[in-house]
Chains A and B, each alone.
Chain A
Amino acid sequence: MSKAVLMQGNEAAVEGAIAAGMRFFAGYPITPSTEIAEGCARRLPQEGGKFIQMEDELASIAAVLGASAAGMKAMTATSGPGFSLMQENIGYGAMAEIPCVIVDVQRAGPSTGLPTSPSQADYMQARWGTHGDHPVIALSPSSVRETYTLIIRAFNLAEKYRTPVIFLMDEIVGHMREGVELPNPNELIINHRKMSFHDGANKQCYFVPEGEYVPAMKPFGHGERYNITGLAHDQSGFPTNSSQIAGKLCQRLMDKVEKNVDHICRVEEYAMDDAETAVVCFGGGARAVMEAVLQARAEGRKVGMFRPITVWPFPEKALKARLPQLKRILMVEHNHGQMLLEVQRVAGNEKPVDFLGRIDGTVITPEEILNKLAEMEGEHHAQ
């Protein structure tokens, strides 16, 4: 461990990304993510990397995908309105299999909403914002230090699976300042995309050997010539209208995430060993939940925290494993009930799921969570 520094969440995103090898950032100013662009503008040239402020978010994500196709680890950062604008090209990145990281520091919406206020209402958009069927990997940090380490993981997953990864922050974490001890750089695990072409199969650029899901990638300007397109394409990268080839491609895109959920999914469980009540939360919302759980435990109540760190794919297996011991689940999130739908899907009719949400741009307090827990416990006793 190196010495502690005082750092803001948005700054930690910059430093973590640079530690992960990110050397290209394209972005457009938007509250509450702007410090990430500012940090990249200052830091990237020092590291030999490049920052460009584009004319809008459509251009930002496009430039990021272009830079990644040319071999750089690339990132953009935005908030709700800009995230909406980026959706089409996030889908392009999924289809053309171009790794990159998109940071969304969520703010209260809808529309221009409350630009400086916290929210977690882009959760479903992170998964379903683009058109068409493709999987999404999204990670959500709940502290400044985790922002640093988790964004490195976001790059690692993007590179390993050749896909855009959504880094779903929120205003709480983005603007929070904490003293953090950053990990020693040589303790970090940094992954890079598989670069060489597979032999055989006419050096087809999207060739995937049997039993694997991710083609190797060669950056432009390194010898081989190939085509990238967002149209359905064959293994050579050329567009096709064949439903058989298109179906196979789309299935592989789904499989590369779905067959690797055990590797991709991470959760934090706190005081869950004997918990009868699980409070599910993610991102900045976990701060108040942790405090509420500590207070409930001090009163001898069997409450634990279940926090998906990988928020997409939803860590279904981990939650299912806890169901038998639980009497009830409380979903706490700063929206009108989005992750709630996933929790309900997993819990089915087995366990009651209650909800505490907020859509006015303020944060949920530990007291509110405790009151809600007391109310739930009372209700269930009465039954």
Chain B
Amino acid sequence: MPSDLVHLYMRIDHLPQMWCPGCGNGVIMRDVAQAIDELINDPDERFTREDFVIVSGIGCSSRAAGYLDFNSIHTTHGRAIAFATGIKLANPKLHVIVLTGDGDCSAIGGNHLIHAARRNVGLTVIVFNNDIYGMTGGQYSPTTPTGDLATTAPYGNLDRPFDIAQLAAGAGASFTARGDVFHARETTEIIKQAICHHGFSLVDVYSVCPTYYGRKNKKGDAVEMLKWQQANLIPGARFETMSQEDRQGKKPIGVLTHNDYPEYTDEYLKLIDACRKKGRK
């Protein structure tokens, strides 16, 4: 018997999940379930379970859609955000959550990411960012740090990496944030805020891939990688109090940008109303 949370929100016939030992994705998937559970049970919010749709692309991250017991659609590589845009427009009352990876959303799906951010379509994108293509066995992704090793970077990666949260913010996303596996509670809170945000929201969650990234780059096992997150990813409030010197090599987690822009499907409904009024005259 699994925990109540897992029992309630996951397709337990298909557990244990197929991810490697120590993979951070399971923790992020639990954070998502926890966040949704808390929102559904919050009397001040009006979320119902049937209104959630989980959309994913292709890659390790994207298997999460199958495990989560909601309306779920596991789409094609890179296209999750575009599918999600269609779902949201077709039925704006749905809470559409995209579970994607660093490769899925910033390489093959990078174009859809920036345009959905620009339009401010009311989607919540959760990036399972593990700095590597895990499903295909460890090739470098757009977030693999320069110099790191991957099966397709046997002499070290020449590319400069994306910061996906900043990329989305630069494209005009109205809500961007960072989370990680170690700070699971904080990340769950951030995911809740992202879901509640009325507009496009993105949470770049740093996952860990001990199998293909950690091992190859001598970053240790899952425990070591989480210890690194504990030491170097700092919740925003604490980061603010740190000196410039102490901040060296560290990154804040938490909300990066939060703006209220008009949401796309709201604006479209206004457009329909205006067209119909004009038609009646």
Measured CB to CB, the residues of A under 8 A from B are: 24, 26, 45-46, 48, 50, 52, 54-56, 58-60, 62-72, 74, 88-89, 92, 96, 219-223, 225-231, 238-239
Q: How far is the CA of A60 from the CA of B86 in the complex (A)?
A: 9
**Chain B 91-127: CB-based contact to A (< 8 A → 1; otherwise 0):** 1011000000000000000011001000000000000
Given contacts A59-B85, A65-B83, A238-B66, contact A221 B91 (CB under 8 A): yes
**Total interface residues in chain B, CB < 8 Å:** 40
Contact check, A45 vs B71: say whether CB atoms are below 8 A apart: no
B185, chain A: closest CB distance, angstroms: 27
A-B pairs with beta carbons under 8 Å apart, 20 shown: A24-B89, A46-B279, A48-B276, A50-B89, A50-B90, A62-B85, A64-B86, A66-B75, A67-B87, A69-B73, A70-B86, A88-B76, A96-B73, A219-B91, A220-B94, A223-B50, A226-B72, A227-B72, A228-B74, A230-B76
Partner of A226, one of B71, B83, B90, B271: B71
B167, chain A: closest CB distance, angstroms: 15
Q: Which residues of B contact A45 (CB under 8 A)?
A: 268, 271-272, 275-276
Q: How far is the CA of A18 from the CA of B97 in the complex (A)?
A: 30
Count of CB-CB pairs between chains A and B under 8 Å: 141
Contact check, B275 vs A46: say whether CB atoms are below 8 A apart: yes
Closest to B85 in A: A63
Task: Check if B28 is an interface residue, CB within 8 A of chain A.
Answer: no
Contact check, A62 vs B89: say whether CB atoms are below 8 A apart: no
Measured CB to CB, the residues of B under 8 A from A are: 11, 14, 49-51, 53, 55, 65-66, 69-76, 78-79, 82-91, 93-94, 111-112, 115, 268, 271-272, 275-276, 279
Q: How far is the CA of A60 from the CA of B82 in the complex (A)?
A: 7
Contact check, A229 vs B86: say whether CB atoms are below 8 A apart: no
Contact check, B82 vs A62: say whether CB atoms are below 8 A apart: yes
Given contacts A45-B275, A52-B85, A66-B87, contact A59 B79 (CB under 8 A): yes
A233, chain B: closest CB distance, angstroms: 9
Q: Which residues of A contact B79 (CB under 8 A)?
A: 58-59, 62, 89
Q: Which residues of B contact A222 (CB under 8 A)?
A: 50
Given contacts A230-B76, A238-B66, contact A70 B50 (CB under 8 A): no
Contact check, B276 vs A70: say whether CB atoms are below 8 A apart: no
Given contacts A54-B115, A92-B76, contact A220 B272 (CB under 8 A): no
Contact check, B90 vs A67: say whether CB atoms are below 8 A apart: yes
Closest to B86 in A: A66
